Structure 1
Amino acid sequence: MVVYKEMRAKGMNLNNVLYNTLLSMCADIGFVDEAVELLDDMKSCTDYKPDS
């Protein structure tokens, strides 16, 4: 999740594919807290929303 936070800090363009890939990765390796944080960030974004 360090990479994700660094990308946000640098103002990089984050898209739905990136968010969903990171959510999937968090689910696969059991990073529940990070997944919840990522999902909350995604929900607060005006451009992208979770797929499901």
Structure 2
Amino acid sequence: MRKRGRLTAEDIPLIRALLASGISVADVAKKFETSKQHIYSIRNGKNWGAVK
């Protein structure tokens, strides 16, 4: 089981794909056990911007 908030480089493309498919930020945050703010930052390219 992943510790809360621990994302890996492999998670980022999946998170972006889920967001692009219309899944809400809140639902993605729950799925990956992290904050909505962290997901917003990933979506907006502020965090994990180097991972494609």
Higher relative contact order (CA 8 A, sep 6+): 2
TM-score, normalization by structure 1:
0.39
TM-score, normalization by structure 2:
0.39
Query: Which is helix-richer, 1 or 2?
Result: 1
Larger Rg: 1
